[in-house]
Structure 1
Amino acid sequence: MYEQMVTAREYEERLQEAYLEGKQPAFDISAGPIPGELHLAAGHEASAAGVCAHLRDDDTVTAPHRPHHVAIAKGVDLKRMTAEIFGRETGLCKGKGGHMHLFDPDVNFACSGIIAQGCPPAVGAAMAADKRNEDSVAVAFLGEGAVDQGAFLESLNLAAVHDLPVVFVVEDNDWAISMPQERVTDVEAAAQRADGFDMPGVRVDHDDAVAVYEAAHEAVGRARDGNGPTLLDVQVHRRMGHFMGDAEAYRPDEDKEAAQERDSIERLEADLRERGLDDADFDDVRARAEQRVSEAIEWAREQPEPGPEAAHEDVFVDDSAAASGGED
């Protein structure tokens, strides 16, 4: 878990550097090797590592628009994911999905840029496993800004009605873009949403990877044993803006400072030191993470960009008119 978290943090910080190339001093969202928006998850690592530690390749995971830490914890191919973010043809989706629309069927991972839209597919995967009498589970990650969305609430209802093996993981980083939760939601914690659907709702108040691991152990185990869904609500923190280029003028300085001080990686490192690990162990982990991330980014930069003809590939085409002699 510690190595996954360190790798995810290193990955986000290196992506931030690459993303800002060519975009400064006057921010130009279309410039640089990674054009468009980029949402990074530095500060969210504990939720992904703690939950995915209990999952197998045949378990399904869906993530939101801030997905990289979840993808790393689930075992998504790092080089192909990076190539996708750089828009290269060897990416997971041939450079067409970008960082918010990653898909790796080898480990059953997908994400979406639409708020709460990973919930219905996760419930569908859980229902498929249930119908097949398989013990695989599904996990849907989402932010606290998504807990009032219809897709989320309808998914909770369907999962509860059918006792489906799915876990909903809310990553609460206090900010839905620029809006604090208390201004738009009438419950103190997302875990309370579970009360209306007769399912367990568990809140982890600190971004402590061990605490998340323990809560997820029960939730995933419950789902795998056929005992239905769980809503897991994890407090995390956002160390960067909502997206790269976000000036965060809405965010008080003391909140930004508190986010920097609440580091789940440092917390887990302290726990591991109490269990006998030393500087050499941590240096080895960091070195492996840095090498893995460097290799992925260097490989992605060297990959070819899709040619213009690729715009006509992997798209839905209605061939019925052509087959009947009509116009395309």
Structure 2
Amino acid sequence: MTVTGLGQKPHSGHPGDEPTPAEALRLYETMLLIRRVEERLRDDSAAGKLPGAVHLYIGEEAVATGVCAHLSDRDYATSTHRGHGHFLAKGGDVNAMMAEIWAKQEGICRGMGGSMHVADISKGILGANGIVGAGLSIATGAAFGAKLDADGKVSVCFFGDGASNQGALMETLNISTLWQLPVIFVCENNGFSEFTPSAEVTAGRIADRARAFGMPAAEADGNDVTDVWRAAGEAVRRARDGGGPSFIEARTYRIQGHFEFESVVLSGGRYRAEAEIESWRLDRDPIARFRARLLAAKTAQAADLDRIEAAVAERVNDAVAYAEAGQPADPELAGTLMYAPEPAGLRQQQKGA
């Protein structure tokens, strides 16, 4: 059995659908790739091998995977500071992403963006973003462009429960509903806004904010890739058919801390119980749950899934080797990439004026 490629053949999606066996294996492979990449970044961060902090997606893999399975390279997606999973699920190159995190010239942003700013316009990945909620407006603008193009493209915005309290959410929900834009808002509700429990800063159900504008809203189990896949399939189909925007609140949980230097910054402080983390890790792990389902349904044999595991491990090792062998980012690029080249004759025109 050969390992399937990521980001292939997006599904049209209808309520009650089930992934085909081939689609199910792609979902499994994508989640596993995200998990193994993040685990390697966790370990290398702890070993002091990375040049900066990383915000890991461990435990949330089903959300990006279930949504992006319905997207093609032509569709758009905006991400968050916790964006590695979105980048990989949307078809981003793992080698280029790892090189970027290692601050190498071979990185997807030539080593100048780092972990929080991976982007690939050729894949419709409009970028991870260190500004909370910044992707909301970008995704809505991309959806407006897609509507003007009238060629069936859709835009997806991934954001967290903390970003749901940004005023930009209300503005984008309003305008996207009024103009019936092909955008899907995906709130990854992992229960914490950095170090603050959502219950302390967020009133009501987040999905109800979309319903107040008359926008279709679904609440999905963010640790069940099939549940996310179904909700996203219906939303993407609606957007492609001209039915306007949708909202998905996916309830999930991040197993790692807010970021990997957290224990140092907090000086040993705790903001969540270890028993809570272990409960999600042991009982609701999205990859373990889906593997058990595939085996129970005889969609795959254990040997098939083990071969996928081995192939993914090899890809991750190769990506790390590629990153480590790369050339350090050129600091001179900061000026080159910040400013556009001066148009020929501009200074002469200014003197004449």
TM-score (norm 1): 0.92
- Give yes or no for the alignment of 1:119 onto 2:136: yes
List runs of 5+ in structure 1 lacking aligned partners.
Answer: 23-32
Provide the rounded CA distance (Å) in 2 between the counterparts of 1:191 and 1:309.
45
- Give yes or no for the alignment of 1:290 onto 2:290: no
Number of residue pairs the alignment of both structures matches: 315
Provide the rounded CA distance (Å) in 1 between the counterparts of 2:114 and 2:206.
29
Contact 1:41/1:69 (CA < 8 Å) preserved in 2?
A: yes
1:77 to partner: Cα distance: 1.1
Q: Deviations over 1:141-195 (max 9, x none)?
A: 00111101012221111111100000000111111111111111111x3211112
What does residue 267 of structure 1 align with? 289
Which of 6, 19, 37 is 1:11 aligned to? 37
Which of 178, 181, 191 is 2:198 aligned to? 181
What does residue 26 of structure 1 align with? none
Provide the rounded CA distance (Å) in 2 between the counterparts of 1:152 and 1:99.
24
Q: What is the identity, as a one-letter code, of the residue corresponding to 1:132?
A: D
Provide the rounded CA distance (Å) in 2 between the counterparts of 1:215 and 1:325.
56
Q: Deviations over 1:89-135 (max 9, x none)?
A: 11111111011111101101021111111111111111111111110
- Give yes or no for the alignment of 1:158 onto 2:180: no
Q: Secondary structure at the match of 2:134?
A: coil
1:245 to partner: Cα distance: 1.9
Provide the rounded CA distance (Å) in 2 between the counterparts of 1:315 and 1:11.
30
1:9 to partner: Cα distance: 0.4
Change (3 A) 1:75 1:182: same
Which of 212, 215, 218 is 1:196 aligned to? 212
Q: What is the identity, as a one-letter code, of the residue corresponding to 2:277?
A: K
Contact 2:74/2:124 (CA < 8 Å) preserved in 1?
A: yes
Contact 1:172/1:234 (CA < 8 Å) preserved in 2?
A: yes
1:259 to partner: Cα distance: 2.2
Provide the rounded CA distance (Å) in 1 between the counterparts of 2:288 and 2:338.
45
Deviating runs (4+, > 2 A) in structure 1?
Answer: 306-312, 317-326
Which of 74, 77, 85 is 2:93 aligned to? 77
Q: What is the identity, as a one-letter code, of the residue corresponding to 1:249?
A: R
Provide the rounded CA distance (Å) in 2 between the counterparts of 1:245 and 1:3.
29
Contact 1:193/1:201 (CA < 8 Å) preserved in 2?
A: no
What RMSD in Å do the two structures reach over aligned CA positions?
1.6
What does residue 274 of structure 2 align with? 253
Contact 2:143/2:183 (CA < 8 Å) preserved in 1?
A: yes
Provide the rounded CA distance (Å) in 2 between the counterparts of 1:87 and 1:148.
32
Q: Deviations over 1:210-240 (max 9, x none)?
A: 0111111111110111101011000111110
Equivalences for residues 29-178 of structure 1 within 5 A: 33-109=49-125, 110-178=127-195
Q: Secondary structure at the match of 2:308?
A: helix
1:319 to partner: Cα distance: 4.5
What does residue 231 of structure 2 align with? 215
Q: Deviations over 1:35-70 (max 9, x none)?
A: 222100000100011111111110001110001111
Provide the rounded CA distance (Å) in 1 between the counterparts of 2:307 and 2:197.
39
TM-score (norm 2): 0.86
- Give yes or no for the alignment of 1:237 onto 2:263: no
Q: Secondary structure at the match of 2:210?
A: helix
Provide the rounded CA distance (Å) in 2 between the counterparts of 1:209 and 1:307.
40
Contact 1:163/1:228 (CA < 8 Å) preserved in 2?
A: yes
Provide the rounded CA distance (Å) in 2 between the counterparts of 1:192 and 1:298.
46
Contact 2:135/2:158 (CA < 8 Å) preserved in 1?
A: yes
Stretch deviating more after TM superposition (304-313 or 8-17): 304-313
Change (3 A) 1:318 1:104: closer
Q: Secondary structure at the match of 2:113?
A: coil
Q: What is the identity, as a one-letter code, of the residue corresponding to 1:310?
A: L
Change (3 A) 1:179 1:128: same
Q: What is the identity, as a one-letter code, of the residue corresponding to 1:250?
A: Y
List runs of 5+ in structure 2 lacking aligned partners.
Answer: 1-26, 264-268
Q: What is the identity, as a one-letter code, of the residue corresponding to 1:172?
A: N
